[in-house]
């Protein structure tokens, strides 16, 4: 197949291109080339979507994969490429309800679309822009495959969220963890998601899917990651009020315990993804993702990281013992 990846120079879109090349497809990646390089074996075409020149991309494509979040970028791509099988990589941030567990595209309400291009410094603006992009793809592409990932993890992750855990657990010792091992978590290895996107293009899959891994207890994820990275961690689960009083934050960023979510976001990590699995998605154990992520972090010491510093964590553990004796 002739596959055009709009992107292809980083993380997911790069993994899609790499997977498609490995399967013998003829792969072109169109981007500025600022985020990185395309995988070996893929062709690179310069495209700046803020002022796109589509001349070099005219022609017949069997499949297009787009990861954009800006409605005018997607609209312009559709003007030129709507005849191909279209995978639009969206997000579970399109939903207006993040509190109901077990949601699916059929059961969860969407945010209202924002069709104009906006600065996306909020989750709502991001989600609403993606809704508008999805709707354009569904209206105009001959075959639309809408993929809504949850947290994407693995080597080359630019967010550093999951990466915190393999790196921290590999160091061992007493490791501070958020709230309870019984909380749900849910994530997908970037290579598994990429493989399913390529399979979807090969099979001309259409429809709307939440695309993340199966729900897992946070405690099981921590145990599995710890074993896979060879750490001898003793995990201290600190309750939410202890953490919040000390300004530890949810999910990502400075002073965060990555992957921790508030109660009213429980739905984000408990989607029912059986439809994606029924349609061919397969996922590897999180321990494998952890080991590969750690290897990548060690080869790339400047890779993005997020979350508590070791000094902050130690202060919190000291406090924990002061409070709990
Ligand atoms: N990470 C997560 O946990 C998560 C969760 C849910 C959904 N998602 C979705 O998953 C997808 C991730 O895609 P990704 O990893 O490939 O990262 P991305 O940041 O969405 O896209 C990056 C690609 O876009 C290209 N790009 C950026 N600006 C451009 C411009 N002006 N003109 C042309 N190309 C441009 C970049 O290439 P150059 O910079 O080289 O031009 C790069 O190849 C996104 O759709 C995201 O919304 C992610």
Q: How far is Cα 63 from Cα 147, in angstroms, rounded to an integer?
A: 14
**Atom in ligand 1 nearest the alpha carbon of residue 48:** 32
Calculate how far, in angstroms, residue 325's C-alpha sits from the geometric centre of ligand 1: 47
Average pLDDT, stretch 114-129?
91
Mean pLDDT of the chain: 97
Ligand 1 mean position, distance from CA 156 (Å):
13
CATH class of this structure's domain 2-149: alpha beta
Q: Which atom of ligand 1 is nearest to the CA of 66?
A: 45
Residue 325, pLDDT above cutoff 90: no
- Tell me how far the alpha carbon of residue 30 lies from the centroid of ligand 1, in angstroms: 12
Q: State how far the Cα of 8 lies from the Cα of 44, in Å rounded to an integer.
A: 9
Positions of CATH 3.40.50.720 in the chain: 2-149
List every span in the chain annotated with CATH 3.90.25. Answer: 164-186+215-268+286-319
Compute the distance from residue 250 Cα to the ligand 1 centre, in Å. Answer: 23
Q: For residue range 228-251, what is the model confidence (pLDDT) as tens digits? A: 999 899 999 999 999 999 999 999
Considering only CA atoms, which of 180, 86, 176, 168 is closest in space to residue 133? 86
Which residue has the least CA distance to atom 36 on ligand 1? Answer: 7
Question: Residue 310: what pLDDT?
Answer: 97
Interval 153-195: pLDDT, tens: 999 999 999 999 999 999 999 999 999 999 999 999 999 999 9
Q: pLDDT per residue over 75-105, tens digit each?
A: 999 999 999 999 999 999 999 999 999 999 9
Residue 95, beta-bridge partner list: 110
pLDDT of residue 120: 73
With the most atoms of ligand 1 within 8 angstroms of its CB, the residue from 4, 5, 6, 7 to mutate is 7
For residue 72, pLDDT beyond 90: yes
Residue the block writes with tokens 């999805």: 134
Please report how the helices 218-228 and 164-171 are oriented relative to each other, as an axis angle in degrees rounded to 10.
60
Structure tokens at 140: 């105009």
- Nearest protein CA to atom 40 of ligand 1, as residue: 33
Classify residue 227 as exposed, middle or buried by CB count within 10 Å of its CB (0-12, 13-18, 19+).
middle
**Which architecture does CATH list for 164-186+215-268+286-319?**
Alpha-Beta Complex (3.90)
Cβ atoms of residues 167 and 202 within 8 Å:
no
Q: How far is the CA of 94 from the centre of ligand 1 (A)?
A: 16
Count Cβ neighbours within 10 Å for each residue of 149-168 and write b for 16 or more, e otherwise.
bbbbbbbbbebbbbbbbbbb
Atom of ligand 1 nearest to the CA of 34: 40
pLDDT tens digits, one per residue of 191-208: 999 999 999 999 999 999
- Pocket-forming residues, ligand 1, beta carbon under 6 Å: 7-13, 31-35, 47-50, 67, 69, 89, 91, 149, 151-152, 159
The pLDDT of residue 135 is above 90? yes
What does pTM read for this prediction? 0.98
Ligand 1 atom with least separation from CA of 49:
32
The residue whose CA is least distant from atom 8 of ligand 1 is: 91
């Amino acid at each position: 197949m002739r596959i055009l990846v709009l992107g292809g120079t980083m993380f997911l879109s790069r993994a899609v291109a790499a997977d498609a090349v490995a399967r013998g497809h003829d792969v072109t990646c169109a981007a500025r080339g600022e985020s990185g390089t395309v995988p070996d074996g893929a062709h690179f075409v310069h495209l700046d979507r803020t002022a796109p020149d589509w001349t070099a991309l005219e022609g017949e494509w069997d499949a297009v994969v787009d990861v954009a979040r800006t409605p005018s970028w997607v609209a312009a791509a559709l003007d030129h490429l709507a005849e191909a099988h279209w995978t639009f990589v969206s997000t579970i941030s399109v939903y207006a309800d993040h509190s109901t567990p077990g949601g699916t595209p059929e059961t969860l309400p969407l945010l209202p679309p924002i069709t104009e291009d906006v600065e996306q410094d909020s989750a709502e603006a991001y989600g609403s822009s993606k809704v508008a992009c999805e709707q354009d793809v569904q209206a105009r592409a001959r075959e639309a495959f809408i993929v809504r990932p949850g947290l994407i993890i693995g080597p080359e992750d630019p967010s550093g969220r999951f990466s915190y855990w393999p790196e921290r657990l590999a160091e061992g010792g007493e490791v501070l963890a958020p709230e309870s091992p019984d909380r749900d978590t849910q994530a997908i290895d970037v290579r598994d998601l990429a493989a399913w996107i390529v399979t979807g293009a090969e099979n001309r899959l259409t429809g709307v899917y939440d695309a993340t891994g199966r729900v897992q207890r946070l405690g099981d994820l921590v145990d599995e990651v710890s074993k896979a990275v060879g750490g001898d961690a003793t995990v201290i689960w600190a309750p939410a009020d202890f953490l919040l009083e000390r300004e530890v934050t949810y999910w990502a960023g400075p002073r965060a315990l990555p992957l921790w979510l508030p109660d009213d976001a429980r739905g984000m990590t408990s989607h029912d993804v059986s439809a994606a699995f029924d349609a061919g998605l397969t996922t590897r154990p999180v321990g494998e993702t952890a080991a590969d992520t750690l290897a990548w972090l060690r080869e790339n010491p400047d890779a993005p990281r997020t979350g508590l510093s070791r000094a902050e964590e130690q202060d919190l553990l000291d406090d924990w013992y002061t409070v709990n004796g």
